[in-house]
Every structure is written in structure tokens, then in C-alpha cells.
């Protein structure tokens, strides 16, 4: 599904994250962790050319189903702007397979997420935001698991989920200034400061502030007023729609320090290898929307890499993780 996207994380909202190794929690950034395209010609077991629907940028490998394929080079050609990838198959210990037209091709930028900056015990942590960017589609029974855990026997990779328990709030502006928005329909509905730290996004295509996002500094319950950390360029128009997205994840200053696991809305670490060991986004049974990921909702994937102290190499520590879901309830 094209509307389910993986983003690098950042302590600041609404910014690009140019460094994957600094994806240490916080808000979903504007930078996708893995872009994708569609296969536009069948791919047999021996073919060394992969034809896809759009340019994936500079990549080292692609993932189709559970086959990881090394990319030698690429070029854009053809009347429809398709991209031809010249590849070597079998380089990542995954057997060549047959793939049909329409299969999703995921870009794999090997080596960008992890680096050699480990804790004294050999651990390292990263965080990826997984978001349903659709305006209407719901994903059901959402689970996350590892397809390929890497090829280094001295490295153990585990994952955990951090899931906001609340949903996305949708509102309409009754009054507005450049630094605040009031929705009179929720006067005395929510306690003071309920939404502090969350992100208010202008959701009205007719507004001059459309898609502008601001972190919430305070919320006044009796009046239903949201006050921002930073001003918008213009006050929001009366009756303009907005949404308040879910809270950000915990944020660590360095990838050598462990975030908190196995408490509240954060699962315990798990190898989660294969769909039979997948982690449900409703692992605690406490999410307001259960295992469904509604439009604009996000969950956070924490990754721990643990390299043995007696390991002489830090190579082959990559992983392939994926999301399993249904499009009907």
C-alpha cells in the first residue's frame, strides 16, 4: 500500500533528516526511510535486469518479496520514465525467485542506518516511524516483524514497538491567532494540557496554512484553545479544519543509550523473526484503535543491534523488516 510509509525520526517535527544514523526517536521526519516502486515487467529466476515504475534514487539494493537484490547500476529510460536496474542476484544469501508485474520493489540503502559507534557493551539503537498517510483508508491487524536479520553470527538484532495509545484528534477553528487556535466544540471536554507536545496540522486544503504543522505548547481545557510553540504565518480561517497528531516517541541523545522498553506503551525487545513472531501494534491491548492503524496514525519501531565483544567485524549487520496488515476488517 503506497500510503503506508516509513520515515526517519527527528527531535524536531516537520524537518528533513539527512542522517539515518541520527534517527533516534522523536517525531516522524519528512525523510522516507525506504521509498518504493512497482515491478513493470516479470522477473524470472535468472534475469539480471529489473524494470520498475519510477526512480528510487541512489541505492545499493532492492527488496522484492523476501529476495534482496544487489544493484550494480541504474538508468532512466523509456517513454514512461521507467527505471532499468542492472543487478546481481544471490549476493545477500537470498535465493533468486520469480516476481510478477505489480510486485512492490523497496529501496535498500545498506549501511546507512547503523555505524560503528557502539556502547561499551556493544549495543546501538535506532528508531523508525511507520505512518498511515492515507486520508481515508484503515489498515487492520497491523503487525511488524523482521524478514531478514542479517548475516553476522556475532550480531543480534531485536525490535520493539512504541505505540501512542491515543488516536488522532480532528477539530475545526472557531477563533484563531497566529499563535493559537480555539475549537469551542471541545470546551470543558479535555483537561488542561492534554495535547502538549503533540503536533497540530492544518488539514484544510482551502486554507493558506494547509499542511503547516506546529508543536503544541499548552492546551486550555475550559476554552478549547491550543497554543503553539512557534507562530504560524497567518491566523487560521474560521471553520478551517485541523488535526492533532499523536505524541512523538521517546528520544535518545545518542544511539549508544538504550530507550525504555517493556513498559506502558513500549513493548519488550524481540527477535520477531518471521510473520509467526510478528509484534502487533496492540501488543498491550491498550491502544484506543486496537490493532488498526487509522489515517494519519503512527507507530514507532525501535531497533537494537548487539555486537558481541569478541567480534572482529561490524559488517553484515543489516536487517529487513516489514509490516503485515489487512485492508478489510
- pLDDT (tens digit, 9 = 90+) per residue, 272-318? 998 999 999 999 999 999 999 999 999 999 999 988 766 655 555 66
User: How high is the pLDDT of residue 312?
Assistant: 56
CATH of domain 169-245: 2.40.10.170
All structural domains of the chain with their residue ranges: 35-108, 169-245
35-108: CATH topology: Thrombin, subunit H (2.40.10)
CB neighbour class for 183 (10 Å; exposed up to 12, middle 13-18, buried from 19):
buried
Between residues 26 and 152, which one has the greater pLDDT? 26
- pLDDT (tens digit, 9 = 90+) per residue, 116-142? 888 888 899 999 999 999 989 999 999
- pLDDT (tens digit, 9 = 90+) per residue, 31-68? 888 778 889 989 988 888 888 988 887 788 888 887 88
Q: Is 185 helix (H, G, I), strand (E, B) or coil?
A: helix
- pLDDT (tens digit, 9 = 90+) per residue, 154-184? 788 899 999 999 999 999 999 999 999 999 9
In order of 180, 279, 298, 325, the CA distances from 4 in angstroms are 31, 17, 10, 10
Other Cβ atoms within 10 Å of 297 Cβ, number:
26
The set of residues, in sequence order, having a beta carbon less than 8 Å from that of 91 and lying 6+ positions away, is 61, 68, 69, 70
**What pTM was estimated for this model as a whole?**
0.86
Nearest alpha carbon to residue 52 among 27, 25, 71: 71
188 phi and psi, to 5 degrees? 65, 20
Q: Report the C-alpha gap between 298 and 27 in whole angstroms.
A: 10
- Equal CATH topology for 35-108 and 169-245: yes
In order of 48, 88, 100, 324, the CA distances from 72 in angstroms are 10, 7, 21, 30
Q: Report the C-alpha gap between 157 and 123 in whole angstroms.
A: 10
The set of residues, in sequence order, having a beta carbon less than 8 Å from that of 199 and lying 6+ positions away, is 13, 14, 27, 213, 214, 215, 216, 244, 245, 248
Amino acid at each position: 500500500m503506497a500510503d503506508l510509509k516509513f520515515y526517519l525520526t527527528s527531535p524536531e517535527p516537520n524537518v528533513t533528516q539527512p542522517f539515518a544514523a541520527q534517527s533516534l526517536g522523536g517525531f516522524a521526519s519528512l525523510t522516507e526511510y525506504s521509498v518504493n516502486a512497482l515491478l513493470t515487467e516479470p522477473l524470472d529466476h535468472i534475469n539480471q535486469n529489473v524494470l520498475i515504475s519510477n526512480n528510487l534514487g541512489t541505492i545499493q539494493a532492492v527488496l522484492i518479496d523476501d529476495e534482496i537484490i544487489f544493484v550494480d547500476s541504474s538508468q532512466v529510460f523509456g517513454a514512461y520514465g521507467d527505471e532499468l536496474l542492472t543487478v546481481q542476484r544471490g549476493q545477500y544469501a537470498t535465493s533468486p525467485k520469480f516476481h510478477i508485474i505489480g510486485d512492490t520493489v523497496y529501496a535498500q540503502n545498506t549501511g546507512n542506518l547503523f555505524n560503528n559507534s557502539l556502547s561499551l557493551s556493544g549495543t546501538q539503537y535506532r528508531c523508525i516511524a511507520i505512518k498511515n498517510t492515507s486520508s481515508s483508508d484503515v489498515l487492520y491487524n497491523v503487525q511488524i516483524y523482521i524478514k531478514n536479520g542479517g548475516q553476522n553470527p556475532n550480531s543480534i538484532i531485536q525490535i520493539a514497538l512504541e505505540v501512542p495509545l491515543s488516536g488522532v484528534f480532528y477539530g475545526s477553528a472557531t477563533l484563531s491567532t497566529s499563535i493559537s487556535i480555539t475549537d469551542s466544540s471541545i470546551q470543558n471536554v479535555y483537561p488542561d494540557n492534554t495535547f502538549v507536545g503533540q503536533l497540530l496540522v492544518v488539514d484544510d486544503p482551502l486554507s493558506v496554512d494547509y499542511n503547516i504543522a506546529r508543536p503544541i505548547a499548552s492546551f486550555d481545557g475550559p476554552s478549547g484553545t491550543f497554543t503553539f510553540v512557534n507562530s504560524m504565518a497567518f491566523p487560521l480561517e474560521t471553520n478551517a479544519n485541523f488535526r492533532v497528531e499523536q505524541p512523538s516517541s521517546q528520544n535518545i541523545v545518542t544511539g549508544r543509550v538504550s530507550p525504555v522498553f517493556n513498559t506502558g506503551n513500549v513493548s519488550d525487545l524481540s527477535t520477531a523473526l518471521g510473520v509467526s513472531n510478528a509484534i502487533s501494534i496492540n501488543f498491550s491491548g491498550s491502544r484506543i484503535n486496537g490493532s488498526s492503524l487509522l489515517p494519519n496514525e503512527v507507530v514507532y519501531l525501535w531497533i537494537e543491534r548487539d555486537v558481541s565483544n569478541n567480534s572482529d567485524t561490524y559488517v553484515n549487520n543489516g536487517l529487513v523488516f516489514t509490516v503485515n496488515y489487512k485492508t478489510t476488517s
